A and B are shown apart, each in its own frame.
Chain A
Amino acid sequence: MTPNPYLFIVIFVGVALVFPLIPLALAWLWRRFFQPPKPGAQKNAIYECGVESIGEAQIQFRSQYYLYAIIFLIFDVEAIFLVPFAVAFTGLPVGAFVAILVFLLLLIEGLVWAWGKGCLNWAR
């Protein structure tokens, strides 16, 4: 009778569970019978480089970078697409023309939005 091929996986999972549990159990027993735990404020501190931590870890980052991303798309990426568009303009089929117009429209929408938001004003 050949053993079930999945039997090996079961054995493998069993060994993988028992193998780390044995040292953990031994460590627990050792602590229980010999070594008294000595916790302390610094021993339990989160940061482990020797310097005391300052403030909270759960702070919010300002996600303003997306404005730069939008304006970069409008003024740089769009220019790269516009040059081949202008060069091949006379030989373009209608489908390609409409496609590039849609692309331009999307970007112009972004420009209008950024303008309306006041991001194009020079910060003083």
Chain B
Amino acid sequence: MSEIDEALRNELQRQGVWVTSMQELYNWGRKNSIWPLQFGLACCAIEMIATAASRYDIARFGGEVFRPSPRQADLMIVAGTVTKKMAPQIVRLYNQMPDPKYVISMGACAISGGPFKQGYNVLKGIDRYIPVDVYIPGCPPRPEALLHAFMELQRKIDSQKLTGASRAEHLDPAEPSEFPVPSFGEHDLEPPANRDVFHPAKIERQS
């Protein structure tokens, strides 16, 4: 399980011997077979479809198997505007995905509400309820941007540890796998944000 010395690995590789560790093998397999959940919410989903189609071809990265069931998906691409009506369903779908699971927040809408931020029925960012791994800015982000986010996610998966205190969340029994589903309140979703998950950046204003 321990890290392999790079110099030793190169030396061995020159002699035709490949060495690997369980962690590397595990992450290599995971990062090259990320199956996204097949659902789109708004205009960004069109770009997601384009990414999956032949011109941009997400299959090159092992992510072409869009699954219509959360039970078979590893990655949730939140592609589009999340309305408050839709938010509980998204959180529920996320809860139903088996561990390990990842979330890409695609586009200005999924990050913060985007152009519809002032709307009474628009959730101001899906990261209020579920943990997001990669954010892609843009309205809409181009397919290249989604590919970039995908590669970033692969890099993240590749660096996850199998053991130790800093191991991946899904290997830690103390980390939750389900997050509370908000319910419809009188004016807003109840609660308006999950404080355990949502850590908004502090705004510093120059006087």
The chain A residues found within 8 Å of chain B, CB to CB, are 34-36, 38, 40-43, 45, 48, 50-52
Contact = CB atoms under 8 A, between A and B. Distances in A.
Contacts of A51: 89, 92
Contact of B99 (A38, A41, A45): A38
Report the 4 A-B pairs with minimum CB-CB distance, sorted nearest first. A50-B89, A38-B177, A36-B173, A40-B178
Nearest to B180: A42
Interface string B95-117: 11011000000000000000000
A89 to B, nearest CB: 60
B93 A50 contact: yes
The size bracket of the interface on B is 20 to 34
19 contacts: A34-B171, A35-B99, A35-B170, A35-B171, A36-B172, A38-B99, A38-B173, A38-B178, A40-B178, A41-B178, A42-B92, A42-B181, A43-B96, A43-B178, A48-B69, A48-B93, A48-B96, A50-B92, A51-B92
Interface string B67-109: 0011100000000000000000110110110110000000000
Contacts of A48: 69-71, 93, 96
A42 B179 CA distance: 10
Contacts of B71: 48
Question: Main secondary structure on chain A at its contact with chain B?
Answer: loop
A43 B98 contact: yes
Interface of B: 69-71, 89-90, 92-93, 95-96, 98-99, 162, 170-173, 176-178, 181
Contacts of B178: 38, 40-43
Most central of A43, A50, A52 by chain B CB within 10 Å: A50
B136 to A, nearest CB: 23
A38 to B, nearest CB: 4
Given A34-B162, A35-B171, A50-B90, A40 B99 contact: no
A116 B20 CA distance: 82
Contacts of A50: 70, 89-90, 92-93, 96
